Amino acid sequence: MNKLSIIKIGGNIIDNPTELAQFLTDFSKIEGNKILVHGGGKSATKMAQSIGLVPQMIDGRRITDAPMLDVVVMIYAGEINKNVVAQLQAHNTNAIGFSGADGNLIQSTKRNHPTIDYGFVGDVQKVNTPLLETLLNSGITPVFCAITHDGQGQLLNTNADTIASELAIATSEVFDVTLTYCFEKAGVLTDVEDENSVIQQINSALYSKLKEEGAIHSGMIPKLDNCFNSLSKGVQKIRIGHHRMLQNTNAICTTIEL
């Protein structure tokens, strides 16, 4: 079975041109099949505030009303996605940028929560694995932004960590998949102020304990929830850490285990 690397890049790297350039250099050197997934929440927040919108977040997830949807589509699927694709082409990585609507690659349903109206937020239902396999086998590197669609013409803001997880689950049927979450920290930390407090291995029991103690909270919770879901559905390996681990096999990071 051919190997596939799925890398999700966090917003703090995207917002830093120097860090982004280094990440894309390292990403372009990964051999074999690869997929890049990016968010861009901080850029979307800045744009929203500049036009008078007030961003709202609940448990690390964005509330997306119609005006905010316009902003995230513009920033995620437009500015960030095409900038990343252009830089990868400069590194001779033949990338194509996608939303979930393109080629019907990722279809979602609008979130139906019993108490919270998340607005135009999508929960992934289906990945077009045959088309994705064709693209990868043709030497294409897909670059996914955090926008999907419902199959009825509606675009939906969708958590990028979840997109990476669902792509990993779907492609694990035909590839040996490693899923890597890259952000500005060295891994999952017990103390966000201490870069040396990396938890190098987390299993489900330790995760539950750390959540109860409040050591893991906010946006890290949906990220880790996605990790454990992926492992239970066929993904071979998951790592979380700084992008330097892409080229430095000795770099400290967090490995997720069931």
Annotation: binding site for substrate = 40-41, 62, 157
Instruction: Give the bridge partners for 237, in sequence order.
Output: 178
Are the C-beta atoms of 68 and 121 separated by less than 8 Å? Answer: no
Instruction: Give the bridge partners for 155, in sequence order.
Output: 149
Distance between CA 230 and CA 96 in Å, rounded? 25
Pick out the residues of the known binding site.
40-41, 62, 157
Q: What is the 3-state secondary structure (H, E, C) of 122-187?
A: EEEEEECHHHHHHHHHCCCEEEECCEEECCCCCEEECCHHHHHHHHHHHHCCCCEEEEEEEECCCC
